[in-house]
A and B are shown apart, each in its own frame.
Chain A
Amino acid sequence: MAAAMRRLLRAGGRRGAALVVAAGGTRSQTLRLIYTTTAAWKKNVAASGPEKYTEAFIKKQIEEFNLGKRHLANMMGEDPETFTQEDIDRAIAYLFPSGLFDKRARPMMKHPTEIFPEQRKIQWGEDGRPFHFLFYTGKQSYYSLMHDTYEKLLNVQKHQDQMAAQDLPPQKEKKNLVGSRWLTKTELEEMLLEKLSDDDYSRFIQLLQKLVTSPCGNIEENYIKKFSREISAQLQKVVIEPLKHDDRGVAFSTGEGERKTSRATVIVYDNGTGKITVNGIDVLHYFPVLQDREQLLFPFQFLDRVGKHDMVCTVSGGGRSSQAGAIRLASAKALRSFVTEKEVEFMRQAGLLTVDPRVKERKKPGQEGARRKFTWKKR
Chain B
Amino acid sequence: MLRSLKGLVCHPLKLDHGYALHTAAKDCLSSVLSQDVQIPAERPRAVFYTNETDPVKTFNEACLMVRKPALELFTYLKNSNFAHPAVRYVIYGERGTGKTMTLCHVVHYCARQGWLVLHIPDAHLWVKNCKELMQSSYKKERLDQPLQASSWLKNFKTSNEHFLKEIKTQQKYVWGKRESTEQGRPLGEVVEQGLARVRSASDAVGVVLKEIKQQCHLGSFRVLVAVDGVNALWGRTTLKKEDKSPVSPEELTLVYNLRKMMMNNWNGGAIVTTLSQTGSLFKPSSAYLPHELLGKEGFDALDPFVPVLVPNYSQREFESCYHYYLHRKWLQHEQARTEAGKEELRFLSGSNPQQLERLAGPL
Q: Do A and B truly interact?
A: yes
Known A285-B286, A301-B340; contact A307-B347, beta-carbon cutoff 8 A:
yes
Contact A301 B344 (CB under 8 A): yes
Within A286-316, the residues touching B (CB, 8 Å) are 290, 293-294, 297, 300-301, 304, 306-307
Is B12 part of the binding interface, using a Cβ–Cβ cutoff of 8 Å? Answer: no
Interface string of B276-305 (1 = CB under 8 A from A): 000000000010000000000000000000
Range for the number of chain B residues in contact with chain A: 10 to 19
Q: Is the CB of A297 within 8 A of B344?
A: yes
Contact status A284-B355, CB under 8 Å: yes
What residues on B are CB-neighbors of A293 within 8 Å?
347-348, 350
B352 within 8 A of A: yes
The verdict on A274 contacting chain B, using a C-beta distance below 8 Å, is yes
Alpha-carbon gap, A301 to B344, bound state (A):
7
CB distance from A239 to the nearest CB of B (A): 30
Residue A151 CB within 8 A of the other chain: no
- Is B344's CB under 8 angstroms from A306's CB? yes
Cross-chain contact B359 with A290 (CB below 8 angstroms): yes
**Which of B343, B344, B350 interacts with A282 by CB under 8 Å?**
B350
We find that the number of chain A residues with CB closer than 8 angstroms to chain B is 14
In this assembly, does A31 line the interface, its C-beta being within 8 Å of a C-beta of chain B?
Answer: no
Chain A residues touching B, majority SS: helix
CB within 8 Å of A: which B331-345 residues: 340, 343-344
- Cα distance A307–B343 in the bound complex, in angstroms: 6
A283 beta carbon closer than 8 Å to chain B:
yes
CB of A126, distance to nearest CB on chain B (Å): 85
| Distance in Å: Cβ of B22 to nearest Cβ of chain A | 22
> A297 touching B350 by the CB < 8 A rule?
no
B362 to chain A, nearest CB (A): 11
Are B348 and A274 in touch, CB under 8 angstroms?
Answer: no
For residue B355, which residues in chain A have a CB less than 8 angstroms away from its CB? 284
Interchain CB contact (< 8 A) of B343 among A284, A290, A294, A306: A306
B346 within 8 A of A: yes
CA distance A294 to B344 in the complex (A): 9
Residues from chain A with a CB closer than 8 A to the CB of B352 are 284
**Is the Cβ of A290 less than 8 Å from the Cβ of B347?**
no
- Asked if A283 contacts B343 (CB within 8 A), the reply is no
In contact, B348 and A297 (Cβ under 8 angstroms): yes
B137-162 contacts to A, CB under 8 A, are none
Of the candidates A282, A300, A306, the one having the most CB atoms from chain B within 10 angstroms of its own CB is: A306
A312 to chain B, nearest CB (A): 16
> Once the chains bind, are A294 and B346 in contact (CB under 8 Å)?
no
Alpha-carbon gap, A304 to B359, bound state (A): 20
Other-chain contact of B347, A282, A285, A300 (Cβ < 8 Å): A300
When chains A and B are docked, how far (Å) is the Cα of A284 from the Cα of B352?
A: 9
A-B Cβ contacts below 8 A, count: 30
Cα A297 to Cα B346 in complex, Å, equals 11
Do B340 and A274 touch (CB < 8 A)?
A: no
Q: Give the chain A neighbours of B359 by CB distance below 8 A.
A: 290
Name the CB-closest residue of B to A307.
Answer: B343
Do most interface residues of chain B lie in helix, strand or loop, or is the interface mixed? helix
Task: Looking at the assembled complex, report how far the CB atom of B309 sits from the nearest CB atom of chain A, in whole angstroms.
Answer: 15
Query: Please, how many angstroms separate the alpha-carbon atoms of A131 and B344 in the complex?
Result: 78
**What residues on B are CB-neighbors of A283 within 8 Å?**
350
Task: Report the Cα distance A293→B340, complex, angstroms.
Answer: 16
Q: B244 → chain A, closest Cβ, in Å? A: 35
> When chains A and B are docked, how far (Å) is the Cα of A301 from the Cα of B347?
10
Contact with A along B82-95 (1 / 0, CB 8 A): 00000000000000
* Cβ of A267 to closest chain B Cβ, rounded Å: 18
**In the complex, which of the residues B343, B352, B355 has the most CB atoms of chain A within 10 Å of its own CB atom?**
B343
Contacts of B340 in A (CB 8 A): 301, 304, 306
**A306 and B286 in contact, given A284-B352, A290-B359, A301-B340 (Cβ under 8 angstroms):** no
B344 touches A274 (CB 8 A): no
> In whole angstroms, how far apart are the Cα atoms of A285 and B287 in the complex?
11
Shortest Cβ distance from A308 into B: residue: B343
In the complex, chain B residues whose CB is within 8 Å of the CB of A301: 340, 344
- A274–B347 touching, CB < 8 Å: yes
Q: What are the residues of chain B within 8 A of A297 when measuring CB–CB? A: 344, 347-348
Question: Digit string of B299-318 for contact with A (CB within 8 Å is 1, else 0)?
Answer: 00000000000000000000
A294, chain B: closest CB distance, angstroms: 7
Closest Cβ neighbor of B343 among chain A residues: A306
Contact of B348 among A282, A285, A290, A304 (CB under 8 A): A290
In the docked arrangement, what's the CA distance between A248 and B101, Å? 39
**Could you tell me the distance between the alpha carbons of A301 and B335 in the complex, rounded to whole angstroms?**
13
Q: How far is the CA of A171 from the CA of B340 in the complex (A)?
A: 59
Interchain CA distance A297-B348 in the complex, whole Å: 7
B288 nearest CB across to chain A (Å) = 10
Least Cβ–Cβ distance between B360 and chain A, in angstroms: 12
User: Which residue of the partner chain B has the closest CB to A274?
Assistant: B347
Q: Mark A268-286, 1 if CB is under 8 A from B, else 0.
A: 0000001000000011110
Q: How far is the CA of A307 from the CA of B286 in the complex (A)?
A: 26
Min C-beta distance of A290 to chain B, whole Å: 7
Residues A306 and B350 in contact, CB atoms below 8 Å apart: no
Chain B: which residue is nearest A273 at the CB level? Answer: B315
What residue of chain A has the Cβ atom nearest to residue B358's Cβ?
A290
Q: What is the bound-complex CA distance between A284 and B311, given in angstroms? A: 13
Contacts of A274 in B (CB 8 A): 343, 346-347
Complex Cα–Cα for A306 and B347 (A):
7
Nearest B residue to A301 by beta-carbon distance? Answer: B344
Smallest Cβ-Cβ distance to B348: which chain A residue: A293
**B331 CB → nearest A CB, Å:** 16
Q: A301-B340, A304-B340 are in contact. Are A284 and B347 (CB under 8 A)?
A: no
- Of B344, B350, B352, which is in contact with the most chain A CB atoms at under 10 Å from its CB? B350
Counting chain A CB atoms within 10 Å of each CB, the highest count among B348, B352, B359 belongs to: B348
20 A-B contact pairs sorted by A residue (CB < 8 Å): A274-B346, A274-B347, A283-B350, A284-B352, A293-B347, A293-B350, A297-B344, A297-B347, A297-B348, A300-B347, A301-B340, A301-B344, A304-B340, A306-B343, A306-B344, A306-B346, A306-B347, A307-B343, A307-B346, A307-B347
Known: A294-B348, A306-B343, A306-B344. 18 other contacts (CB 8 A): A274-B346, A282-B350, A283-B350, A284-B350, A284-B352, A285-B286, A290-B348, A290-B359, A293-B348, A293-B350, A297-B344, A297-B347, A297-B348, A304-B340, A306-B346, A306-B347, A307-B343, A307-B347
Q: Which residues in B have some Cβ–Cβ distance to A below 8 Å?
A: 286, 340, 343-344, 346-348, 350, 352, 355, 359
The 10 closest A-B pairs by CB, nearest first: A306-B343, A284-B350, A307-B343, A293-B348, A297-B347, A306-B347, A274-B347, A284-B352, A297-B348, A306-B344
A interface residues with partner B (beta carbon < 8 Å): 274, 282-285, 290, 293-294, 297, 300-301, 304, 306-307
